[in-house]
């Protein structure tokens, strides 16, 4: 029996821009190193304790440098940087260790900003309910704060449909690395050949899952230009393509 013929026993979902939309344009716009962008940086700077006397340029420059170092180093290796560790490093870099609990405060402010951008399409609960009646469901997400990810799903009434989850903060690695996919499949008790991964990112979701032997659904609802994405060198090819999550129950065997 080939992979294409194997029965599907489990469906694993990406989180952001698949199940939960993130509208970063709702964040305040700030200027960092000459670039204007929507960001939580401004809220984070405002959350510094009184008396730190730390200007915007110094604060934003330090945080941008830290983020850039991770993106150019560990992130390329698929290693996650948890939100709390990110801000613990920032506090040390700025010499603010004497302010007890500051890293936790900054993490909370940052996650609060992201939560304000999050929106769950109302149809997703019905789609998951239909799929949960036929398959075991899992969550496989690149996200640096697992508690925020799970609470967003819980508040939207979606968490109850999932039998297992693997989130990069707790796993230590990010998609497309195979370890995070294996983690959720092991918890589901399902072989990769009998699982389908659903996500919006060709490299992380489609490429990573396909390399391990899962079939894939590429959801393009939040992809700006799907045809251009497919035309990029080395772009992974999904088993199925769906414009919206509502199409998935009709695609899967």
Burial 4-32 (b: 16+ CB within 10 A, else e): eebebbbbbbbbbbbbbbbeeeebeebeb
**Does residue 2 have a pLDDT over 60?**
no
Mean pLDDT of 41-65: 94
> What is the rounded average pLDDT for all residues in the chain?
96
Q: Give the pLDDT score at 218.
A: 98
Number of neighbours of residue 192 by Cβ within 10 angstroms: 22
Long-range contacts (CB closer than 8 Å, 24 or more residues apart) made by 230-234: 230/202, 232/202
Label residue 1 by pLDDT band (50, 70, 90). Answer: very low
Number of neighbours of residue 155 by Cβ within 10 angstroms: 12
pLDDT digits (tens, 9 = 90+) for 93-143: 999 999 999 999 999 999 999 999 999 999 999 999 999 999 999 999 999
Considering the chain, what percentage of its residues have pLDDT values greater than 90? 94
In sequence order, what are the beta bridge partners of 38?
29
**Does residue 60 have a pLDDT over 80?**
yes
> What is the dihedral sign for C-alpha 72, 73, 78, 82?
negative
Q: Give the pLDDT score at 212.
A: 98
Give all domains of the chain, ordered by start, each with its CATH number.
10-20+120-251 (3.40.50.1000), 24-117 (no CATH)
Q: Give the pLDDT score at 3.
A: 63
pTM of the model: 0.95
CB-CB contact of 181 with 214 (8 Å): yes
**Does residue 67 have a pLDDT over 80?**
yes
Mean pLDDT of 27-49: 94
CA distances from 130 to 151, 160, 162 (A): 22, 13, 12
Please provide residue 19's backbone torsions phi and psi, each rounded to the nearest 5 degrees: -95, -40
Q: Which of 67, 84, 63 is nearest to 145 (CA)?
A: 84
Q: Which of 25, 147, 19 is nearest to 82 (CA)?
A: 147
């Amino acid at each position: 029996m080939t992979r294409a013929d194997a029965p599907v026993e489990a469906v694993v979902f990406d989180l952001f821009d698949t199940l939960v939309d993130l509208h970063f344009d709702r964040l305040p716009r700030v200027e960092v190193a000459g670039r204007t962008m929507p960001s939580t940086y401004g809220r984070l700077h405002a959350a510094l304790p009184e008396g730190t006397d730390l200007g915007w340029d110094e604060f934003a420059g330090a945080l941008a440098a830290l983020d850039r170092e991770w993106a150019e180093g560990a992130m390329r290796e698929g290693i996650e940087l948890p939100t709390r560790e990110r801000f613990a490093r920032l506090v040390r870099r700025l010499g603010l260790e004497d302010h007890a609990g500051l890293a936790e405060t900054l993490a909370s402010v940052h996650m609060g900003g992201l939560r304000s951008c999050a929106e769950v399409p109302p149809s997703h609960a019905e789609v998951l309910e239909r799929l949960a009646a036929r398959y075991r469901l899992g969550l496989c997400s690149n996200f640096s704060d697992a508690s925020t990810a799970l609470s967003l799903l819980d508040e939207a009434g979606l968490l109850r449909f999932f039998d297992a989850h693997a989130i990069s903060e707790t796993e230590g690695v990010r998609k497309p690395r195979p370890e995070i996919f294996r983690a959720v499949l092991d918890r589901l008790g399902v072989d990769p050949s009998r699982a389908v991964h659903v996500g919006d990112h060709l490299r992380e979701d489609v490429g990573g899952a396909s390399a391990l032997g899962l079939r894939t659904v590429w959801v393009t609802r939040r992809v700006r230009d799907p045809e251009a994405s497919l035309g990029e060198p080395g772009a992974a090819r999904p088993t199925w393509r769906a414009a919206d999550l509502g199409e998935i129950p009709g695609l899967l065997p």
